[in-house]
Amino acid sequence: MKLITNRVYGAEDILPADSYKWQFIEDIMRKQAQSYGFKEIRTPVFEHTELFDRSVGDTTDIVQKEMYTFTTKGGDNISLKPEGTAGAARAMLEHGIYNDGYPIKAYYLTACYRYEKKNYGRQREFHQFGMEVYGAASAFADAEVICAANSIFDRLGVQNIQLELNSIGCPNCRPKYTAALKEYFGRHRVELCDTCRSRLERNPMRILDCKSPICSQIAKDAPKVLDFLCEDCSTHFEEVKSCLDAAKLRYRVNPAIVRGLDYYTRTVFEFVAKDIGTICGGGRYDGLIEELGGQHTPSLGFGMGMERLLLLLREQKIEIPEPPVCDLYVLGIGEKAKLKAFNIIEGVRNASLIAEGDIVGRSVKAQMKYADKIKARFSMVIGDSELEENCAKLRNMNGGKETVVPLDEGFFNAFFAAYVEESNSSLLEQLNSMKG
């Protein structure tokens, strides 16, 4: 059979066999965010293109080369979001969330879109977890956000991930650094790629983030931003490091980190894994809210790539718990028995347990095979004789033990008792294996 179409290049389907892995990670992310006082924000998948031009920066690769931009039937210039921060900041301003008082702490799980070459751990549609803080200028806020990101790696059991830290200054000290970069890269103008030559006058820091091998090699000997920090930025950076030291979180100062977005100021950081690259990146963007039309609001946050994080877990052979299995599979033989089975199944589901029965017309033998395939914990057959006697055999699929249970109101007490007994036995076996 030939399909009408396949998925778009650079987009992946998350199938039922794998979706539980995403749900497990997302659940940890939500719980860690909540433990740090963050609440969820959900913003549209598309925004006015001007938002990203102003926030991300019109000299970045993202805006110049990678955004999905189109004109609507109404004539609006729209772009799919390439990252999560700009939309969250816009929503904070538009809805006046700042009136609730600072700090504002928000987290999101969202799909993002960048038109770039598909490669290992990078898709054109990708998913990002992010945390944003508005209204906090303290170095403790920087350290708290970094620790929040690290707590997710700790909860997942990730090893050998390097925290890299830098400061890229503020509007007071950045001009001197920009002038030094212009002078340095100006001497290599002929060797730079066309894109970087256009950046030389407008934003030479973007050259440091260029992926071209030639530009990257030239950038290695460029002036280091840490040598140009003003006293306030230098003090702030030292305070951030002191906070991380107090939290016993190891890091490496890397002056080459500038991040790929124009809105960053002062602290920038990345969590990097060998052979995969940056898993999480973020920092401070004190001028972003003002750039979008609001009052000056110190802000910071990070974005964490879900696809890369899943790759990292696979590389490090970190097992994700299997999803819950069916608690009870009920087979009904005959029309009346099927109705009774349906009634019992719904009752078990109403107790927040997983129950299933046949909905595709399988034979009894095929149903038993299916119950085994889905690893049902218990099974039960209801036929004419069971209806007549008003009882049936509840079978533990793990050990084969059978228990006679009533089919009236007493069924649920009998089933739940067997369920608890089986659960305790499984837990005891697990504890004994751990002792062994």
pLDDT per residue over 210-222, tens digit each? Answer: 878 899 899 888 9
Whole-number mean pLDDT of the chain? Answer: 91
Measure the CA–CA gap between 121 and 129, rounded to whole angstroms. 15
Tell me, yes or no, if the pTM score tops 0.85.
yes
What integer pLDDT is reported at residue 309 of this predicted model?
A: 96
Q: How confident is the model at residue 312 (pLDDT cuts 50, 70, 90)?
A: very high
Confidence band (pLDDT; 50, 70, 90) for 431?
very low
Reported as a single tens digit per residue, the pLDDT across 346-361 is 999 999 999 999 999 9
Give residue for tokens 């200054």. Answer: 169
Yes or no: say if 305 and 128 are a contact pair by the CB < 8 Å rule.
Answer: yes
How much is the pLDDT for 240? 97
> In whole angstroms, what is the distance from residue 30 CA to residue 151 CA?
12
Rounded-to-integer distance, Cα 354 and Cα 376, Å: 9
CA distance 113 to 212: 22
Backbone angles phi, psi at 35, to 5 degrees: -70, -20
Residue 434 predicted with pLDDT over 50:
no
DSSP summary character for residue 294: S
Read off the pLDDT of residues 23-82 as tens digits, 9 standing for 90 and up: 999 999 999 999 999 999 999 999 999 998 877 765 565 666 688 999 999 999 999 999
pLDDT at 428 over 80: no
Residue-wise DSSP of 83-134: SSHHHHHHHHHHTTGGGG-SPEEEEEEEEEE-----BTTB-SEEEEEEEEEE
Position 128 scores a pLDDT of 96
Q: What is the pLDDT of residue 60?
A: 60
Of 167, 141, 170, 317, the closest CA to residue 251 belongs to: 167
Q: Which domains does the chain have, with CATH numbers?
A: 16-173+229-315 (3.30.930.10), 328-419 (3.40.50.800)
pLDDT for the residue numbered 22: 96
Q: Whole-angstrom Cα distance, residue 204 to residue 177?
A: 10
Per-residue pLDDT band for 341 (boundaries 50, 70, 90) equals very high
What pLDDT is stored for residue 436 in this prediction?
A: 44
Average pLDDT over residues 103-117: 93
What is the 8-class DSSP label of residue 227?
G
Say yes or no to pLDDT of 260 above 70: no
pLDDT of residue 223: 92
The encoded tokens of residue 18 equal 């794998």
Helix (H, G, I), strand (E, B) or coil at 367: helix
Tokens of 48: 């006015």
Q: Which residues of 226-240 are buried (b: 16+ CB within 10 A; e: fewer)?
A: bebbeeebeebbebb
Q: Each residue of 154-189: pLDDT tens digit?
A: 999 999 999 999 999 998 998 899 899 999 999 999
Pairing between β-strand 104-113 and β-strand 125-134 as defined by DSSP bridges: antiparallel
Determine the angle formed by the axes of helices 335-350 and 410-435, rounding to 10 degrees: 60
Q: What span, in angstroms and rounded, lies between the C-alpha atoms of 271 and 208?
A: 19
Q: What is the mean pLDDT of residues 317-342?
A: 94
Tokens representing 292? 């979008």
Interval 292-301 mean pLDDT? 94
With a cut of 90, say whether residue 127 has pLDDT above it: yes
State yes or no: pLDDT of 261 exceeds 70: no
Q: Are 325 and 354 in contact (CB under 8 A)?
A: yes
pLDDT at 365: 94
Least confident window among 90-94, 120-124, 148-152, 337-341: 120-124
Distance CA(361)–CA(81), nearest Å, equals 46
Question: Is the previous residue joined to 406 through a cis bond, with omega within 30 degrees of 0?
Answer: no
| Distance of alpha carbon 204 from alpha carbon 214, whole angstroms | 15
Taking each helix axis from N to C end, the angle separating 231-246 and 139-156, rounded to the nearest 10 degrees, works out to: 40
Q: What's the rounded Cα separation, in Å, for the pair 114 and 122?
A: 10
Q: Tell me, what's the pLDDT at 426?
A: 60
